[in-house]
A = this chain, B = another copy of it.
Amino acid sequence: MKIDHDNPPGAGTQVASATRPVKAGYTRALDIRHGVVDMSHGAGGKAAAQLIAELFAPELANPFLGQGDDGAALPLPGFDPAGGELVMATDAHVVSPLFFPGGDLGCLAVHGTINDVAMLGARPLYLSASFILEEGFALADLQRLVRSMGRAAAEAGVPVVTGDTKVVERGKGDGVFISTTGVGVRAPGLAIGGAQARAGDAILVSGTVGDHGLAVLSQRESLAFDTTIVSDTAALHTLVADLLAAAPGGVRVLRDPTRGGLATTLNEIAQQSGVGMRLQEAAIPVTPQVDAACELLGLDPLYVANEGKLIAICAPEAAEVVLGAMRRHPLGQQAARIGTVTTDPHHFVQMDTRFGGRRVVDWLSAEPLPRIC
Chain B residues, Cβ within 8 Å of A185? 76-79
Chain B residues, Cβ within 8 Å of A43? 167
In this complex, how many residues of chain A approach chain B with their Cβ under 8 Å: the count is 88
Which stretch in A57-65, A216-224, A287-295, A308-316 binds the other chain?
A: A57-65
Chain B residues, Cβ within 8 Å of A318? none
Counting CB contacts under 8 A, is A128 at the interface?
yes
Chain B residues, Cβ within 8 Å of A153? 60
Contact (Cβ within 8 A) B163 A60 = yes
Which stretch in A82-90, A238-246, A265-273, A276-284 binds the other chain?
A: A82-90
- Chain A interface, >50% SS class: mixed
Q: How far does the alpha carbon of A41 sit from the alpha carbon of B139 in the complex, in Å?
A: 11
Which stretch in A130-138, A247-255, A319-327, A329-337 binds the other chain?
A: A130-138
Counting CB contacts under 8 A, is A177 at the interface?
yes
Counting CB contacts under 8 A, is A126 at the interface?
yes
Counting CB contacts under 8 A, is A202 at the interface?
no
Counting CB contacts under 8 A, is A181 at the interface?
yes
Chain B residues, Cβ within 8 Å of A121? none
Contact (Cβ within 8 A) A164 B79 = no
A76-B83, A139-B30 given; A132·B177 CB < 8 A: yes
Q: How far does the alpha carbon of A344 sit from the alpha carbon of B172 in the complex, in Å?
A: 42
A-B contact pairs, 7 of them (CB 8 A): A36-B139, A60-B163, A76-B76, A83-B83, A88-B183, A92-B166, A94-B132
